[in-house]
Amino acid sequence: MEKKIYNQDLYPNLLDKINLTSLEIVEQTKSFKLVFSRIKDKRVEWGMQLPMFVPAFYDFIIQNGKVPSQVDFYNHYIMSNSDFFHSGTFDKSLFPAIMARAYRTYPSLVRDVCFNKYVQEHISGYSVVYNIDLDVSEGIDLMLSQGDNHFAINLFTQTNRAYAGRAKKAYRHTPFENVKYIDFPVNFNGSYQNGDFFLYWDAEYQQLISKLS
């Protein structure tokens, strides 16, 4: 079987297309109010394969030069996947449950892009790459490279649900043979609170640095 080798040239860095600093992301989002709904539908949660949330989130930032609100994110997600959601076979009664799921996902997307930009701005001697294919297809939240040394960072919160999700994520993907995988569970106690958001910030950055040494 052919070895699976990571080649950085095959994964363009989306962070270089985001013309926002981590501090600008903080400033833009500190007044955003997060709203959540208890609506859930088994079909939306487990019974169907929805379009991924991640591409729409990053597409909005790159197109508009700002972070979307929850409402902006959901609307852009539906618009970006209009062929799926406005086909004659789609059950439109599912929209409230899809909105609720998108709203629940949204804070972690903001948290990740803010931290990724923070790492890119502060780390020395490493290239810092976020790529949607690496995220979705390979389960890698952030790739740090120093020459031929590559480190796949997998961020998740210290909850039972997150640990279970991390285990499933690891099982689904065949690892690159030339990459060291670093699981990075984070406890929100002491995390930086920015309005309604809990963000990864300097404390988590220092933890990440310690894991690379």
pTM across the whole model: 0.91
DSSP state of 36: -
To the nearest whole percent, how much of the chain has pLDDT over 90?
81
Region of 170 on the Ramachandran plot (φ > 0 left; ψ -120 to 50 alpha; else beta): alpha
Segment 28-37 shows an average pLDDT of 97
Note the pLDDT tens digit of each residue in 115-172: 999 999 999 999 999 999 999 999 999 999 999 999 999 988 755 554 455 455 555 6
71, two tokens:
């409402």
Cβ distance 148 to 6 under 8 Å?
no
pLDDT over 60 (residue 181): yes
For residues 179 and 163, the model is more confident at 179
Where is 206: in which H helix or E strand?
Answer: helix 202-212
Cβ distance 44 to 101 under 8 Å?
yes
Query: What pLDDT score was predicted for residue 156?
Result: 81
List the domain boundaries for the chain. Answer: 13-212
Q: State the Cα–Cα distance between residues 194 and 31, nearest whole angstrom.
A: 9
> Cα dist. 96→16, 37, 38 in Å?
34, 9, 10
Query: What pLDDT score was predicted for residue 38?
Result: 93
Query: What pLDDT score was predicted for residue 159?
Result: 54
Q: State the Cα–Cα distance between residues 5 and 177, nearest whole angstrom.
A: 6
DSSP state of 32: P
